[in-house]
Amino acid sequence: MSSILKSEQEKYLSKFIKEKDPLILEMEAYAEENHVPILSRDSAEFLEMQIRITNPKRVLELGTAIAYSSIRIARNLKKKSVVYTIEKSKDNLKIAKKNITRSGLGDKIHLIFGNALEELPKINKKFDFIFLDADKTDYKKLFDYSLILLKKGGMIFIDNLLWHGLAASTKIPKDQKNSTRIIQEFNEIFSARANLITTILPIGDGIGLGIKK
């Protein structure tokens, strides 16, 4: 669940979780056990709702990991819609491929192996919806590339903008100072972008939503 909500709030909201897909539940358990960063469940549900609302024909995901969010996106797409997802970890790629095969959604998920900063310039398609959840040190560059590929009126959905609550904290652990600074600086850039209508919401670990003007 969220790294921001109080424990009693998390406990209360957990009563309303409706997820029954055994693969999704298995992936959540695997991610927790193996310390693989994936969307929190509330952020994932919010992402699915945005996919249903915007009804994108073409989605781009930066940071596949084990394909948790890829599958959750794909299962909410209409028949001819697709999601392109980029992952640079060979270990993650192997697991992602297995999970995508098991999901039965392989025809809707196009998995690209490589560094997103190198792969994005090769893409000559435009996207209705972009989900950014890659290495935080690359967020600014990936954000800039994403806006080039995002259609007018399209949505960008960005995770971790509250960075475990540290983005708004005055007491930051030494080993988190650099990553926190990167997120704080990114939030300023994101919110000030002239060609986007933006908001940052306290969902999960902080979700940034932007609509391209």
Per-residue pLDDT in tens (0 to 9) along the chain, 213 residues: 455 556 787 778 778 877 889 999 999 999 999 999 999 988 999 999 999 999 999 999 999 999 999 999 999 999 999 999 999 999 999 999 999 999 999 999 999 999 999 999 999 999 999 999 999 999 999 999 999 999 999 999 999 999 988 998 888 998 899 999 999 999 999 999 999 999 999 998 999 999 999
Can you give the CATH number for the domain in which 13 is found? 3.40.50.150
Does residue 163 form part of some domain? yes
What is d(CA 40, CA 165) in angstroms, rounded to the nearest whole number?
14
Does residue 58 form part of some domain? yes
Domain count, the chain: 1
Phi-psi category of residue 164: left, alpha or beta, with phi > 0 → left and psi -120 to 50 → alpha? left
What is d(CA 9, CA 2) in angstroms, rounded to the nearest whole number?
10
Residue span of the structural domain in which 132 resides: 7-212
Does residue 2 form part of some domain? no
Nearest-10 Cα torsion for 45, 31, 172, 144: -60
Instruction: Please report, for the chain, how many H helices and E strands are present, in that order.
Output: 8, 7
